[in-house]
Structure 1
């Protein structure tokens, strides 16, 4: 026993020191990220909340109005702007923006040392553009004030990616407070990744807590998410456990994933159900797309039905309506991390009303 005490003690000490070092690095990185991407003080928590400030996809030019906060979806980052003019006949809009293309952004930043032009740009190919509208919950905005703020920023705008980017510009014009959920999400993603790698980023329970602590969820939305996360899962062990209109949860690309069951039929006498599902499918080099696919569910307990009906104050759509809503979104590229992922899509299809 005495012979092994020394080596074991050394191993334990080294292990403890490694843990302390890792924890120290995590804290240092967390503090650094918080100082760079920290949210400004704001009396209204709804303005920071990812659930209260929602994005909606624009399908026609009639849905866009002067003073609207719009987003052009990109592969690396999203670009934000304020609509200044709408021409329904020519299907074109004009908008104020902090920068234009990626090259234009780099040129402006390098040439002006953090300066960027606020300029009015005209877009003619509206039907071919991937545009989203930012909807602020329970808020009314004066169009004249929004446009005046945009024009005032044109004189002198200090561009800084983490603290004063195009989203800061757009939210300032609408609300009077410069905010960027894009920067906040980046900080949260890195924070989660440091703590638990990629799986932690997609762990909705852990993410809900971190988003609340990080100021990106208001109390009401945090409680609602916690309520829906607390519902039970029923393992699929026979053909009677799953039906059209159900929401299932399973592992997809090594991560938890939800999908809507469109049809379900037993495959011969084997322990398998063949199902048509609607879900956000992984697309390499493209935006995640809502797709209808066929999967085979084995009765091994790895697929579960999510019992959203257990959540109090929640009203569900009828199964046929759930399937109809899911099919209405097939081929749509609406994926947005933290705001509209596979779980958000499934809940949108299933939940008619849910309030704390």
Structure 2
């Protein structure tokens, strides 16, 4: 199976929840309101103010200096950042065709310290980071946004929320390699079941429903017994990335609602052996770990990504082909904490 370092899925962001998921030489993204800052991790230490807390870290980074709105004027520099992974939107970019070792990536970043930025574009910090990792100059973020703008122009919001359509368009435009295209087709084409009876849905399921007129995914935390037999609906507590108002960041919350039994709500049937899934208890525990998070990022860390992160183990989310991948997923598998 051939993997491409410039495929928009072979270089795949994954949310960082704990300090020990990061490694020296990693390419990380610190998502902001107006632009995302990409950097190479040089050193990771506990936060001196809270050493025992794995959700906090002191991280030495090398990245391209950017100013408001991402305008790139300045030099390649080293900074020290303090991250609270519960509050910051930090993602690690996992590459499945990484030609350099971690030590080589760090060396490639260090030898550019103090140099003027040579990629005078909005996403020059991403160009710098991907060049350190792959020796190529490209922007996964830029390619995705260009593709999605065209999908929106021709298909509107429904097209943007259709992951299978986005995957097909990416394949047609040669933005995605064959293994990733096939893996995504399997993920997005999972069997679905319309909820028409209470027992059609269970704890730990991923459900899809209309939310602000677009397709939206959530994790079922609990199925409540109906107190009234005449009630024609299913009473669910679910966790999802909720819209909390125009001036408030989207937040992962638990919410309770009665859904109609008319088939408008769908259960996504991610099950073994086709998919490697967490148990219902593990799935809901993983969702609870992220309650209160405000790290929403469209197409990177939205409701679909959150729900699949809770339900599917890393080996089901990423293309598998060689031992390097197995080493990659060890660093991103998050232990379920006791609740």
Q: TM-score normalised by the shorter chain: which range applies? A: 0.7 to 0.9
Q: Encode CA deviations 1:222-269: one digit per residue, 9 max, x unaligned.
A: 112212333333222222222222222111110111212111122412
- 1:184 Cα shift? 0.9
Structural RMSD (CA): 2.9
Q: Given the alignment, which residue of 291, 295, 308 partners 2:253?
A: 291
Q: SS of the residue aligned with 1:332?
A: coil
Counterparts of 1:245 and 1:85, CA distance in 2: 37
With over 3 angstroms needed to count, the CA separation of the structure-2 counterparts of 1:87 and 1:235, relative to structure 1, is: closer
1:171 aligns with 2:136: no
Structure 2, unpaired ranges of 5+: 49-56, 321-339
Counterparts of 2:222 and 2:46, CA distance in 1: 41
Q: State the match for 2:206 in structure 1.
A: 247
Q: State the match for 1:348 in structure 2.
A: 309
Q: Encode CA deviations 1:144-176: one digit per residue, 9 max, x unaligned.
A: 4324433444434333326x6110101111221
Larger relative CO (CA 8 A, sep 6+): 1 or 2? 2
Q: State the match for 1:77 in structure 2.
A: 35
1:304 aligns with 2:266: yes
Give the TM-score, by structure 2 length.
0.77
With over 3 angstroms needed to count, the CA separation of the structure-2 counterparts of 1:157 and 1:120, relative to structure 1, is: same
Matches within 5 A, 1:140-289: 141-153=100-112, 154-161=114-121, 165-264=124-223, 265-269=225-229, 270-283=231-244, 284-289=246-251
Structure number with larger C-alpha Rg: 1
With over 3 angstroms needed to count, the CA separation of the structure-2 counterparts of 1:138 and 1:296, relative to structure 1, is: same
After the TM superposition, which segments of 4 or more aligned residues of structure 1 sit over 6 Å from their partners? none
- 1:102 Cα shift? 1.3
Q: State the match for 1:339 in structure 2.
A: 300
Q: Given the alignment, which residue of 268, 287, 308 partners 1:326?
A: 287
Q: State the match for 2:325 in structure 1.
A: none
User: 145-154 or 68-77, which moves further after superposition?
Assistant: 145-154
Contact 2:59–2:83 (CA under 8 A) maintained in structure 1: yes
Q: State the match for 2:60 in structure 1.
A: 94
Normalized per residue, which structure has more helix?
1
Contact 1:244–1:262 (CA under 8 A) maintained in structure 2: yes
Counterparts of 1:259 and 1:122, CA distance in 2: 36
Structure 1, unpaired ranges of 5+: 1-42, 110-115
Aligned length: 302
- 1:79 Cα shift? 0.6
- 1:64 Cα shift? 4.2
